[in-house]
Amino acid sequence: MGTNGVAVAGSTAETNGMALIACGSALPAISVSNQQLSERVDTSDEWIRTRTGIGARRVAGPEESLTLLATQAARAALAHAGWGPEDLDLILLATSSPDDLFGTAPRVQGALGATNAVAFDLTAACSGFLFALITAGQYLRSGTMRRALVIGADQLSRWVDWNDRTTCVLFGDGAAAVAVEACPAGENGLLAFRMRSDGSRHGCLTLAQTAEQQPVLSGVTAQLGGFSPIRMNGQEVYKFAVREVPAVLNELLEATGTAAADLNWLLLHQANQRILDAVADRFAIPQERVLSNLADYGNTSAATIPLMLDEAVKDGRVRPGDLIASSGFGAGLSWGGALLRWAGPRG
């Protein structure tokens, strides 16, 4: 790899796999409990826990920008990988809540001092991390790039309507990063993947532009930039998730000849415990192999999958060689899945 995203190599026998090496995460300091929310909107700890499994969520303060959290998560992943920032060829930041609509990834690249890396954002809502991981995999497996950081980071607390009890109880803020590296095909950790979109159903979950107009010249009216808070048809999104996630995971298992019993972990986008339970039931995967941290963090959008992975790697649940079935789903509508093998840092 040359500097700043300039491809120099072609695919070789040594470099058509992608290994998942290390991860790291960063969370805002303030945790908001269900009880606290019930002081603002007509809800209760009992309702939120029963319907979603969520007990608390982190809310980023004004100083805790997306750039800051993503950079902290990236530094932790680099430290665990044993890499310096200059080792990176690529930084992909999956987010729907950037600090800057022109892109937040370059700010992270600048803060890290990753002078050899090209950095850009990728937006696919709660599917964003998985889509970014798969995208990074294409550069690494083709031999175009060697080392990448895939970051999932969101701050939907800045975009929910805090008076709307149907959405403000669900979302939280966080950032997490995974360090991935080109490796021999035999060590490939991205065993199979699927990505899907259905824009005809985009109205189920939106963070859409406002429609305020500003006359700028005689006969010329421009729209004033700005966004409305998140709007969601919860029941439609729920039905979509419990239909499409098992279907995409089933495709992956069939394509790779993998039995559900062979999976060490089910690592789904953390949106709702009932969705996790329904998918696990569909494949008869026991609770102890279903990763969930909804109780502590709620739905952190693009951050949920790497945040959960980081927690499970740190506490020793996920170990080198473990087989993980992962699926992300959300606004777009978008969804996807990947069959992954965790490698861990190389000796």
- Give residues in contact with ligand COA (CB under 6 A): 43, 47-48, 51-52, 126, 165-166, 169, 232, 234-235, 237-238, 271-272, 299, 330
In the complex with ligand COA, the residue whose CB is nearer, 55 or 234, is 234
Verify whether residue 4 is a known catalytic residue: no
Q: Name the amino acid, one letter, at 28.
A: P
In the complex with ligand COA, the residue whose CB is nearer, 274 or 314, is 274
**Between vectors from CA 309 to CA 62 and to CA 142, what angle results, nearest 5°?**
100
Q: Name the amino acid, one letter, at 106.
A: P
**How far, in Å, CA of 301 to CA of 128, rounded?**
8
What does the radius of gyration of the chain's CA atoms come to, in whole angstroms?
Answer: 20
Q: Which of 34, 188, 272, 299 is catalytic?
A: 299
Verify whether residue 23 is a known catalytic residue: no
The number of helix segments (H) and strand segments (E) in the chain equals: 10, 15
Q: Which of 80, 116, 168, 269 is catalytic?
A: 269
* Smallest separation, CB 36 to ligand COA (Å): 13
Token pair 């690249």 is found at 109
In the complex with ligand COA, the residue whose CB is nearer, 191 or 278, is 278
In the complex with ligand COA, the residue whose CB is nearer, 79 or 208, is 208
In the complex with ligand COA, the residue whose CB is nearer, 11 or 163, is 163
What are the contacts of 142-145 at 24+ separation with CB within 8 A? 142/10, 142/11, 142/16, 143/9, 143/10, 143/11, 143/12, 143/15, 143/16, 143/182, 144/1, 144/7, 144/9, 144/10, 145/1, 145/5, 145/7, 145/89, 145/90, 145/182
* Smallest separation, CB 342 to ligand COA (Å): 24
Q: Name the amino acid, one letter, at 13.
A: A
* Smallest separation, CB 209 to ligand COA (Å): 20
* Smallest separation, CB 189 to ligand COA (Å): 25
Contact 324, 264 (CB under 8 A): yes
In the complex with ligand COA, the residue whose CB is nearer, 152 or 330, is 330
Q: Which of 23, 126, 168, 204 is catalytic?
A: 126
* Smallest separation, CB 240 to ligand COA (Å): 8
Could you tell me which of 309, 306, 301, 338 has the C-alpha nearest to residue 123? 301
- Strand 213-217 relative to strand 220-223, pairing: antiparallel
Verify whether residue 126 is a known catalytic residue: yes
- For the chain, the residue count is 347
* Smallest separation, CB 229 to ligand COA (Å): 14
Tokens of 198: 């259905």
Q: Which residues are catalytic?
A: 126, 269, 299
